Amino acid sequence: MGIRVAVAGASGYAGGELVRLIAGHPELDLVAATAHSQAGSPLSAVHPQLAGLDLTLSATDPAVLADADLVFLALPHGQSATLAAQLPESVKVVDLGADHRLTDAAAWESYYGGPHAGAWTYGLPELPGQRAAIAAANRVANTGCYAATITLALAPLVAAGAVEADDVVVVAASGTSGAGRAAKAHLLATEVMGDLSTYKTGAHQHVPEIKQATGARSLSFTPLLAPMPRGILATVTARPTGTADAADVLAAAYAGESFVKVLPTGVFPRTAATLGSNACHLQATVDRDSGRVIVVSALDNLGKGAAGQAVQCANLMLGLPETTGLSALGVMP
C-alpha cells in the first residue's frame, strides 16, 4: 500500500491531469477523486484518456478527503479555503487554486474579491529557499500557470540585479485549457480557432503573485488566448542594469535543476516541446534596437503550470525524491 492521496475537483482539466500523474506514480495510491456536478459519474466517462482506471467520482465531502495522507485541491479560485479549513491538520494539502498564494490581503481583495484566506508556503521549488520550505510544510499553495512561466524567467534576473525591477513588460499566450473546463461561448472551437485575442487586459489576477514571487515592482502584463488546447509561451522584457549576460544568470540559477532548462544559444522555447511534461524551457537575448533583455519561457500550463508542479511539491512534502513520477521530456508532435 502506497501513500494515500485524494483529488478534489478531479473532473476539471488540472484534476484529470493530476489523476493521470498519480496513476503513473510508483509511491502514490489514489483513494478518492471528487467532483461537483459530475459526482456519481465513472472517471473514464469524464476523462476518456483515463479509460482503465476503475473509479467513480464522489461528491466533494471533507470526510471522504480526510482519510488521505495528502489532498490535492483542484478547485476554482475562491473555493479551496473553506474546504481546506475542514481538513485535519494531519492531512497535507496542495492547493492548485489561488486562495492561499498571496501574502497581501489588499491585493487579494483587489484582484479576486472577498475575504483573504491567508498565505501558505508558496509552491515553486526552484525559487531560493522554497524547496526546504515546501518539504517542511503541511499546506502548500501551488503557483498559477502564468506565474510559474514568468517567475522562472524573471526571478533570477531581479535577484541578481541584472535588470530593473520597476520596468518589466510581459506578453504571454495560453492555450484554452487555462480557462478551465466550464462551457463558455468565447472558448468554443468556432470562436477560438483561427483567432488570437487578449483577455483580462491590464488586470490579470496573476500580476500580484508574479510581483510577490519575483520582486518586480512594476509589471505590465498582456495575456493572449491562443488557438491550442494547452501550453504557455511568455516573452518577458526588462531594462538591463549593466553588462551581465541574462542567459548566463539563468544558467547559473538553474544549474542542476531537473525541470528548468536553459536552451542552447540561439534555440528558443516552443510550447509543443514541453507538452505533457513538467519542464519549463528558457532562453534569453538582448533586443538589438532597444537594448532590453528578452527572456522567452514555455511550459505546459497543465504540467509545470499546474498538476506536474503540484506533484513535484507533494513529493517534497512526503519525503520522496522530487522527480518521482514526473518527466522533463515532452511529447511531440
What one-character DSSP code corresponds to residue 269? -
Provide the domain limits for residue 235.
146-301
Residues 70 and 213 placed together within one structural domain of the fold: no
How many other C-beta atoms can be found within 10 angstroms of the C-beta atom of residue 156? Answer: 25
Sequence-distant (6+) residues with CB within 8 A of 276 are 300, 303, 327, 330, 331
Residues 181 and 223 placed together within one structural domain of the fold: yes
Please check whether residue 326 lies inside any domain of the structure. no
Enumerate helices (H) and strands (E) in the chain, giving the number of each: 11, 14
Question: Per the residue annotation, which of 7, 22, 141, 145 is the catalytic one?
Answer: 145
Residue 70 CA to residue 309 CA, distance in Å, equals 15
Residues 171 and 104 placed together within one structural domain of the fold: no
**Do residues 242 and 259 lie in contact, with contact meaning Cβ atoms separated by under 8 Å?**
no
3-state secondary structure of 130: helix
Please tell me the predicted confidence (pLDDT) of residue 310.
Answer: 98
What values do phi and psi take at 34, rounded to 5? Answer: -115, 160
CATH of the domain at 158: 3.30.360.10
170: nearest Cα among 218, 213, 112, 240: 218
Q: Is 26 left (phi over 0), alpha (psi -120 to 50) or beta?
A: alpha
Number of separate domains in the chain: 2
Question: Over the Cα atoms of the chain, what is R_g?
Answer: 19
Return the percent helix, strand and coil in the chain, to nearest 5. Answer: 30, 25, 45
Residues 312 and 235 placed together within one structural domain of the fold: no
**Do residues 202 and 113 lie in contact, with contact meaning Cβ atoms separated by under 8 Å?**
no
Within the chain, strands assigned E span 3-8, 28-35, 58-59, 70-73, 92-95, 121-123, 139-142, 163-174, 197-198, 219-225, 232-240, 260-262, 280-286, 293-299
Please tell me the predicted confidence (pLDDT) of residue 183.
Answer: 65
Please check whether residue 275 lies inside any domain of the structure. yes
Residues 276 and 177 placed together within one structural domain of the fold: yes
Residues 192 and 114 placed together within one structural domain of the fold: no
How many other C-beta atoms can be found within 10 angstroms of the C-beta atom of residue 188? Answer: 11
pLDDT tens for the 333 residues of the chain, in order:
799 999 999 999 999 999 999 999 999 999 999 998 888 899 999 999 999 898 999 999 999 999 999 999 999 988 999 999 999 999 999 999 999 999 999 999 999 988 999 999 999 999 999 999 999 999 999 999 999 999 999 999 999 999 999 999 999 999 988 777 676 777 777 788 888 899 889 989 999 999 999 999 999 999 999 999 999 999 999 999 999 999 999 999 999 999 999 999 999 999 999 999 999 999 999 999 999 999 999 999 999 999 999 999 999 999 999 999 999 999 988
Residues 159 and 112 placed together within one structural domain of the fold: no
Residues 215 and 263 placed together within one structural domain of the fold: yes
Cell numbers for 186, please give them.
468565447
CA 175 from centre of chain: 13
The pTM score is 0.95
Please tell me the predicted confidence (pLDDT) of residue 37.
Answer: 84
Residue 280 annotated among the catalytic residues of the structure: no
Residue 280 CA to residue 274 CA, distance in Å, equals 7
